[in-house]
């Protein structure tokens, strides 16, 4: 019976997942080709356990991320295609969208042009475009695989007419200025120990950034002021404990810096605004 196999799968996954019951439900619903909500409401009652379910459980037991197995991940208000070769969007990254919304709300303005550097799946850019329906955006990434996902996600979420994606390395080759720049760069220390589902499956180029995790900030931040419109801002994701170091790099490049905390209370996003056009919010000293 489905209920019995679901309990067994939950027990199996307890050793590889922090959310074994959720994973088991998602994988069973995927194998049954119904939604998890439908599964929980009894839509599959009386059906046999699909043969495909065993293969899905085996993949998860090998630490493959649930998002790769399902081929999608929810982010902000969107559902996104993901798979090997592209970083899986995390809920913590939604802090960048919240920080950008707060920045422009304080100015009673809306960004009309948005640049997403290291766009990956397109999560940040498409979330911003979903919030600001009159805006247009450009996503840059050095991975053709990632750009393939980003373009498919723009189509999936009916934003391909407002989102363009290009191959590139940070701001190199970008000629226009933008009201808002978003970026979730690699920031993990090169010797950091990550969980198997991250280290063995997600692209290292989107994770690691030198011995202190700051290599990409040192390259990226000095390029930002030349790509910002007056009154605009860049919002960068940071790792735990990196706020002061990244803020120092930003101040040296002529920015004032505001911090935004994630739901766990950790500094997760830094809002960089050129000194002449910065606001009076909290500045990291």
pLDDT for the residue 276: 64
Residue 209, Cα to own-chain centre: how many angstroms? 17
Strands (E), the chain: 72-75, 78-81, 113-117, 136-141, 163-167, 178-183, 228-237, 255-261, 267-274
Q: Rounded to whole angstroms, how far apart are CA atoms 132 and 18?
A: 35
3-state secondary structure of 208: strand
Return the DSSP state at 243: H
* 283 pLDDT tier (thresholds 50, 70, 90): very low
Q: Which residues contact 84 (CB under 8 A, 6 or more apart)?
A: 68, 145, 201
* Statement: the pTM of the whole predicted model exceeds 0.75: yes
Asked whether 283 and 258 are in contact (CB, 8 A), the reply is: yes
CATH topology of domain 2-62: Helicase, Ruva Protein; domain 3 (1.10.8)
Q: Is the pLDDT of residue 41 over 60?
A: yes
pLDDT at residue 285 greater than cutoff 80: no
d(CA 90, CA 101): 18
Same fold, 2-62 and 76-277: no
Q: How far apart are CA 176 and CA 113, in angstroms?
A: 10
Task: Please report the pLDDT score of residue 189 as a whole number.
Answer: 95
Can you give the pLDDT at residue 191? 93
In this prediction, residue 275 carries a pLDDT of: 83
pLDDT, residue 25, reads 96
pLDDT of 277 higher than 80: no
Q: Are 231 and 250 in contact (CB under 8 A)?
A: no
Extents of the domains making up the chain: 2-62, 76-277
What is the residue-averaged pLDDT of the chain? 94
Angle between helices 215-224 and 243-252 (to 10 degrees): 40
CB 53 within 8 A of CB 5: yes
- pLDDT tens digit sequence for 150-193: 999 999 999 999 999 999 999 999 999 999 999 999 999 999 99
Pick the CATH number of 76-277 from 3.40.30.10, 3.40.50.720, 3.40.50.150, 3.40.50.300: 3.40.50.150
User: Running DSSP on this structure, what letter comes out for residue 225?
Assistant: G
Tens of pLDDT, residues 105-149 = 988 889 999 999 999 999 999 999 999 999 999 999 999 999 999
SS3 193: coil
Render pLDDT for 65-117 as a digit per residue (tens, 0 to 9): 999 999 999 999 999 999 999 999 999 999 999 999 999 998 888 999 999 99
What is the SS3 assignment for 188? strand
Does residue 9 sit in helix, strand or coil?
A: helix
Mean pLDDT, to the nearest integer, of 202-231? Answer: 96
- The pLDDT of residue 107 is 87
Q: Which of 215, 233, 222, 244 is nearest to 96 (CA)?
A: 233
User: Strand, coil or helix: what is 59?
Assistant: helix
Supply 192's token pair.
């950091």
């Amino acid at each position: 019976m489905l209920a019995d196999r679901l309990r067994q799968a939950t027990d199996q996954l307890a050793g590889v997942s922090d959310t074994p019951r959720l994973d088991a439900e998602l994988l069973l619903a995927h194998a049954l080709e119904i939604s998890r909500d439908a599964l929980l409401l009894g839509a599959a009652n009386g059906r046999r356990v699909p043969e495909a379910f065993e293969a899905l459980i085996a993949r998860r037991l090998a630490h493959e991320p649930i998002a790769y197995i399902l081929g999608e991940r929810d982010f902000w208000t969107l559902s996104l295609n993901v798979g090997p070769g592209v970083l899986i969007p995390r809920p913590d990254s939604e802090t960048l969208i919240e920080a950008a919304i707060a920045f422009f709300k304080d100015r009673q303005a809306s960004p009309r042009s948005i640049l997403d550097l290291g766009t990956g799946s397109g999560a940040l850019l498409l979330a911003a475009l979903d919030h600001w329906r009159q805006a247009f955006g450009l996503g840059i990434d050095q991975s053709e695989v990632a750009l393939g996902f980003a373009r498919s996600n723009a189509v999936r979420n009916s934003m391909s007419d407002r989102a363009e994606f290009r191959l590139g390395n940070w701001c190199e080759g970008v000629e226009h200025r933008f009201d808002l720049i978003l970026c979730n760069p690699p920031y993990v220390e090169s010797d950091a120990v990550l969980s198997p589902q991250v280290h063995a499956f997600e692209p290292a180029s989107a994770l690691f950034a030198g011995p202190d995790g700051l290599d990409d900030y040192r390259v990226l931040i000095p390029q930002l002021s030349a790509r910002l419109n007056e009154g605009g801002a860049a919002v960068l994701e940071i790792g735990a404990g990196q706020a002061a170091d990244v803020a120092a790099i930003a101040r040296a490049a002529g920015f004032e810096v505001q911090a935004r905390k994630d739901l766990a209370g950790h500094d997760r996003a830094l809002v960089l605004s050129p000194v002449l056009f910065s606001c009076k919010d909290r500045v990291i000293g």
